[in-house]
Structure 1
């Protein structure tokens, strides 16, 4: 007779999902800022180097939907292990790259591995975490990911300082991926720790990718579009703030300090977001976040030529960080709420594609509007899009998650 399952605890989840995620994201965060520099060292122009820097996100978007099939067939834990090993192979390709083309292939594969790893950890928490803890677990997962991206660049700076070369940073990612793999292999299988996964009869495990997408086409089109706008707002914030600082004459050191403090504010609120969602409902996190992001961008659009433009920039940057932090984990939590319990991975792959597509498209839209008109107009358009997204969330979250919208514990 098998041993009885132990009660759920956040500490067990921290070891099984958060620690591997932290290691993987630290390694990825270390290499992403250096990819354009390595490309430039291989002879790429500035434009091509910038393009290569964005290939990780392109690979992630391309890999989102297929990753749902992979995870549903081999399981969450196994998928995370193989994704980490695939990332190691991709980084070795980057290290050995004799030209920009080979480097681009390696970077693109890193994006594919990121898609599988991200989907696997999302599906893992969706499957094993009880509903009353779900939002806190997923918002913490989002916070861990942001922490890795925050620590990674500092680690890469230290490695470059002591090694004298940018390519040495790739070894940081390799070590982090191998460490994440070791953690996943050495820890017990979640099924033996918590017992059978939380499943319902409404999601048979035999559902395939295209069948799942077709059956959920309405929610993916409507609420998925809103999630894409959330991803777009977050990516726009990361693009517009540095550009705005340059355009109003703030120095590089001051810009880094302001954005760094804003990032710390954002990170500090991840657990607050999860608590709000678990205690009061998903809408109480999603709606204030999108209203804050949209209104923040609209205000910023009218401050560029004001005498106190620098002060307005600091205030808006902090306001946007609070708004973004309050919504930490909302995309993953909504996806987990909506996913079929029997086999969540195919749905989550399509769901993550919607959010990642918005994240990938937003910087291109900002660049295009800025080139044609102005950065202020780009900020204004982003603000309108954020308010539109807030309206869609207000309409469709209660429609598709009527109980989880305000009282998730009663679902």
Structure 2
């Protein structure tokens, strides 16, 4: 936290955090729906295209491990700048790719950058935003992330409709990432805007800000924290990993499905953009549901709806109205995801030690991100061995397993009187 005597105003965070988040997220969201098309253009079959698309989440989960330590050493702003550089390298590799391996490597780099960027912006807010404003600041950050996720596919749809070039989606990503870097590079010194950041020493004697210390604690001793909390992480963490597997599976299954039934790439981006907009419009309802009726009232319907969407999708491939069912299930999945927004962060906050939550939150994020990373690989393997329809159905079954686990373990670990 900073020690400025001037009153804090939320708009002070617009330039250093909110605008970069909007730009970075929009750039990433622009190419995600188009990855299978680009992968097929460089020689991938449907299963390999799914694996290439999954490199993003794999990069995120690998990036979770060192990011906190790196941020504590170079600072929040420099970490975000380096993240934009790594993302640009990834975008350049994707644009120059002549085979699925290089394309996947580029997307993996973007995933690494995404992990570090997300953690650094969280650390920045922790350092410079007073505690009494922090919930509003983080809520606004979440809104910027969702707005970027909506903006990206719509931009991609418009540009692809004009250029008819799938790689244009990566050019959008590169341009927006350059914009992110420019904002971070030329913005005023944060300590002049917010006041001098208070510093303390971490366990190695290195001077860090409060935000840097928090994210460092999330990643230092990650595996010992997992071992210490294995009971709850294996049960509720495992159930939450299945939630993330469902969400991650959507970003692979729906674009692959669109390719397999012959939907144009610009139309795919438009449909996914509309679905993301539905998700965005519903995310406020999730918190109200949780506060009024409890955690299960949000997560169980959310997972049931998402799983149902995948089941319906799995039997619609060869029907004459398959495009209609693609759109309907994409929108239905978005409804389910929207009413479950924020549930995993809420569960993590409920379960973490209030005196020192960072290590548990880091372990929780690693477990749930692992679920997100493994899902595309499983989908690719099932698609290669069996079919995309069965991959969709099996992902839906995984969601139902998650529902059962939530029904068993939420009451056990989070009784109402806790």
Give the TM bin, normalised by the shorter chain: 0.7 to 0.9
Count, aligned residues: 400
Match of 1:362 in 2: 375
Residue 324 of structure 1: how far off its partner (Å): 0.8
Residue 343 of structure 1: how far off its partner (Å): 6.9
**TM-score (normalised: structure 1):** 0.73
Residue 6 of structure 1: how far off its partner (Å): 3.6
Q: Does the CA contact (< 8 Å) of 2:237 and 2:364 recur in 1?
A: yes
Q: Does the CA contact (< 8 Å) of 1:268 and 1:325 recur in 2?
A: yes
Q: Does the CA contact (< 8 Å) of 2:38 and 2:166 recur in 1?
A: yes
Match of 2:151 in 1: 151
Q: Deviations 1:201-254 (Å, cap 9, x if unpaired)?
A: 9x979963344333333332222211211111123334445666788x796588
**Ranges in structure 1 where 5+ consecutive residues have no aligned partner:** none
Match of 1:108 in 2: 108
Distance 1:241 1:164, change over 3 A: closer
Match of 1:28 in 2: 28
Match of 1:285 in 2: 298
1:12-23 matches, within 5 Å, as 12=12, 15-23=15-23
- SS at 2:121 equivalent: helix
Take 2:322 and 2:100, find their aligned partners in 1: how far apart are those partners? 40
1:11-410 matches, within 5 Å, as 11-12=11-12, 15-33=15-33, 44-46=43-45, 51-94=51-94, 103-122=103-122, 134=135, 141-156=141-156, 170-184=170-184, 186=187, 188=190, 192=195, 208-241=221-254, 259-277=272-290, 282-298=295-311, 316-338=329-351, 347-369=360-382, 377-402=390-415
Distance 1:237 1:95, change over 3 A: closer
Take 2:33 and 2:313, find their aligned partners in 1: how far apart are those partners? 26
RMSD: 4.7
Q: Does the CA contact (< 8 Å) of 2:236 and 2:410 recur in 1?
A: yes
Q: Does the CA contact (< 8 Å) of 2:247 and 2:372 recur in 1?
A: yes
Q: Deviations 1:256-305 (Å, cap 9, x if unpaired)?
A: 76555433212211233244446665444323312332344456667779
Match of 1:4 in 2: 5
Residue 74 of structure 1: how far off its partner (Å): 4.4
Residue 150 of structure 1: how far off its partner (Å): 3.4
Residue 52 of structure 1: how far off its partner (Å): 3.7
**Ranges in structure 2 where 5+ consecutive residues have no aligned partner:** 199-208
The 10-residue stretch of structure 1 (159-168 or 68-77) with the greater mean CA deviation from structure 2: 159-168
Take 2:54 and 2:367, find their aligned partners in 1: how far apart are those partners? 17
Residue 117 of structure 1: how far off its partner (Å): 1.4
- SS at 1:4 equivalent: coil
Take 1:312 and 1:167, find their aligned partners in 2: how far apart are those partners? 27
Take 2:311 and 2:366, find their aligned partners in 1: how far apart are those partners? 27
Q: Deviations 1:58-79 (Å, cap 9, x if unpaired)?
A: 2222222222333354454443
- SS at 1:114 equivalent: helix
